[in-house]
Each structure stands twice: as C-alpha cells, then as structure tokens.
Amino acid sequence: MATLAPPRPAQREAFIIQYPESDGLPMADNTLQFRWIVTLQGGLDSLYADRPDIFVAGDLLWYPVEGDNKTRAAPDVLVAFGRPKGDRGSYLQWQEDHIAPQVVFEIISPGNTISEMTRKFGFYERYGVEEYYVYDPDRGDLSGWIRNEGRLEPVADMQGWVSPRLGIRFEMADDALKIYRPDGQLFETYTELANRAATEAKARQAAEVELARVREELARLRGE
C-alpha cells in the first residue's frame, strides 16, 4: 500500500488566516444524541482500526476552502478515505490532498432547526460528500442520500440499506436504529461493549476453572 502523506503544514502568508478549532457550540444537546455520536464514531473507528488510510472523527470542524474561514461545518461523524489516521484540530481540506470526507452523519436533537439542517445539506452536497445520513433518535427516523451526477439524491428505503462506502447495514426495529458491520456484528454503545467484555471474561474464567477440575479428576483416576 502506498504511503499516505500527512496533512501538510500551512504555508507562510503575508497575513495569517486563523481557522478556529471550535465553533463554540456543544458537541451534543442531550445524552441520547451524545451516545449515538460516540457509538457511531467508535464503531466506525473500530471497523477500520487496521486501515491506516481511513480517518474517522466526531464533531470536527471541516474547512473545504483555503483562505475562507467562514465556510465550514462540523459533522457529528465524518469518514475520510485516503487520509491517514492521527489527531487534528480541524479538517483543512487543502492540507488533506484536497480530499473531502466521503461519508458524514448527523444525529438530530430538539435543538436542530430546519434552516440549520438545510444549510448543512447544501454544504455537504456542494463540497463533495458521497453519502449523507441523518438519524433522529427521538422520532426513530433515519434518512440517507447518495451522490449521483453531482447531486445528493435520497435513498428510497433505508430499511436494510447497505452503505456503498462503509459496507455497514442499517435496520430499524421498534423505532430504534441498529447498525451492523459487514461481518454481521452489531454496533454497540460503550456500556454494551464493556458488559459483553465482562461476560466473556467471566465465561473464560469459568471454563478455565472447569478445565482445571477435569484435569484434577483425570489425574485422580490415573492415580497420579
């Protein structure tokens, strides 16, 4: 695999343009929105843990135009193929081989307005997003758009939809979103992951105790 060039440092200019790393807005308006953002970001980061050429981030300001610090957006989750992993204060597209994040997610909260979401849609459509997904956990509503001939067009039916880029599958069950990895494993919250790890650890411990008991019994029967 070809070595990816890291984000290049900004060139010296006659005057310095600042690209703020925060828009002053909270990452989430409530615990439900926050939980979904973390679950999506963590699940996707885990999915591509062994791919050094895929960058996943949450609530990171994206500036698509060099010299313009007003045109920006902070997707709840973004995925950029062809970009190396690593910490960033913001996603400056001209320092990222001019590669726009191909997939973005937004998690709706009561604080999101129609005008805000309309503006975000226009931004993502204009600056090259290939797949755009919006989930409203309060209403159990999921929508998606796919780029076609330069425009983001709606996915007719999201039930069972498989992301062309990510390979993940979306399912709505009991008005709640479930996301499955290509291997069929379900995206889980941090708590669910921790509980499953604890359960598996207890099962391994019980198996080791039982194995030791069986060995002792065999040794006794052999008269050792």
pLDDT above 60 (res 8): yes
pLDDT of residue 14: 45
Hey, what are 79's tokens?
């995925």
Reduce the secondary structure of 109-173 to three states and give it as a string.
Answer: CCCCCHHHHHHHHHHHHHCCCCEEEEEECCCCEEEEEEEECCEEEECCCCCCCECCCCCCEEEEE
d(CA 108, CA 1): 38
Query: What are the tens digits of pLDDT across the range 40-99?
Result: 999 999 999 999 999 999 999 999 999 999 999 999 999 999 999 999 999 999 999 999
Query: What are the tens digits of pLDDT across the range 162-209?
Result: 999 999 999 999 889 999 999 999 998 656 654 554 555 566 776 677
- Domain locations in the chain as residue ranges: 31-187, 189-224
d(CA 141, CA 176): 8
Which CATH number is associated with domain 31-187? 3.90.1570.10
The overall average pLDDT reported for the chain is 88
Q: What is the pTM assigned to this prediction?
A: 0.81
